[in-house]
């Protein structure tokens, strides 16, 4: 596959986008851009202020924030103002406020500018909520990755347990359903499946099967 493609993967919370996107990018030799991590980075800086989280507080940290994604040996490191926050942004506290952060226009404008800059060189795989619809509408390959709420909650529950967080499966299902609603109904760049995107329902599929399907779609996109 000669052409360096721009690949957009959208989908709801807990669909496993980042897991499979990372692996697919490694196999393609592409740069993986985790847009969700960028919004989580803004949420992290907001929480560092030690104040009740309001829209005003979130917007106060945006003008001078630097979010940088670096890639080494197939691993993405997330830096906020030079501090490595790769693990710190994957906590329940961040989960609770990231939809609020991502719904704010000035936050999205800043992050989208950074994301588009990173995509200009090609050979990029980017995942998020509005990549094909808004960030990279000219992407060569567009995929909408989803799974049932039950399956997504189970995956997130296993991930959280592995990290030592004690949270009920039932609560995670409620959280994910609420996140779906917030992401789909927000006024700015809501979560949607664009008509030219390939729907990939991963319920019951293994990680390897999903990655293989993504690589197949990229091969087709490279020949189109």
Q: State the DSSP string of 88-129.
A: TTSSHHHHHHHHHHHT-HHHHHHHHHHHHHHHTTS-EEEEES
Instruction: For residues 47 and 85, give the distance between their C-alpha atoms in angstroms, rounded to a whole number.
Output: 13
Q: What are phi and psi of 79, to 5 degrees?
A: -115, 135
Residue found under tokens 């960030």:
135
| Cα–Cα distance measured from residue 7 to residue 24, given in angstroms and rounded to the nearest whole number | 10
Give CA–CA dist 217/5, Å, rounded.
11
Contact 25, 31 (CB under 8 A): yes
Residue 219 counted as domain residue: no
Coil, helix or strand for 224? Answer: coil
- One-character DSSP codes across 138-186: T-SEEEEEE--HHHHHHHHHHHHHHTT----HHHHHHHHHHHHHHHHH-
Distance CA 182, CA 187 (A): 10
In the chain, which stretches have pLDDT less than 50? Answer: 1
Residue 37 included in any domain: yes
pLDDT tens digits, 141-151: 999 999 999 99
- pLDDT for position 1: 46
98 domain residue, yes or no: yes
**pLDDT for position 76:** 77
Examine residue 224 and state whether it is found in any structural domain, yes or no: no
Tokens representing residue 170 in the block:
């039932």
Domain residues for 198? Answer: 26-205
Does any domain span residue 214?
no
In whole angstroms, give the CA distance from residue 96 to residue 76.
23
Q: Is residue 221 part of a domain?
A: no
**Are 49 and 80 within 8 A, CB to CB?**
no
Residue 85 structure tokens: 């926050």
Distance CA 64, CA 81 (A): 9
Q: Do the Cβ atoms of 39 and 186 come closer than 8 Å? A: no
Question: How many structural domains compose the chain?
Answer: 1
Residue in this structure with the two tokens 């090609």, named with its chain if needed: 122
| Position 223 in a domain | no
**Domain with 123 in it: what CATH number?**
3.40.50.300
In a domain, 92, yes or no: yes
**Coil, strand or helix at 178:** helix
User: In this predicted model, what pLDDT tens digit does every residue of 164-191 receive, in sequence order?
Assistant: 988 899 999 999 999 999 999 988 888 9
């Amino acid at each position: 596959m000669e052409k360096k493609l721009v690949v957009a993967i959208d989908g709801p919370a807990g669909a496993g986008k980042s897991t499979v996107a990372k692996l697919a990018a490694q196999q393609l030799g592409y740069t993986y851009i985790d847009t969700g991590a960028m919004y989580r980075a803004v949420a992290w800086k907001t929480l560092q202020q030690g104040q009740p989280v309001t829209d005003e507080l979130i917007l106060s940290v945006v003008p001078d924030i630097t979010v940088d994604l670096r890639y080494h040996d197939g691993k993405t490191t997330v830096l906020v103002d030079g501090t490595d926050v790769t693990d710190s942004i994957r906590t329940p506290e961040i989960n609770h406020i990231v939809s609020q952060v991502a719904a704010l226009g000035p936050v999205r404008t800043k992050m989208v500018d950074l994301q588009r800059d990173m995509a200009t060189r090609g050979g990029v795989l980017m995942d998020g909520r509005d990549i094909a619809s808004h960030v990279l509408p000219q992407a060569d390959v567009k995929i909408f990755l989803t799974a049932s709420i039950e399956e997504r909650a189970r995956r997130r529950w296993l991930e959280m347990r592995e990290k030592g967080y004690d949270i009920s499966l039932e609560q995670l299902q409620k959280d994910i359903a609420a996140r779906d609603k917030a992401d789909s109904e927000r006024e700015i760049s809501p979560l949607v499946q664009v008509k030219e995107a390939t729907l990939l329902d991963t319920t019951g599929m293994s990680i390897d099967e999903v990655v293989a399907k993504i690589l197949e779609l990229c091969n087709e996109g490279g020949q189109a």
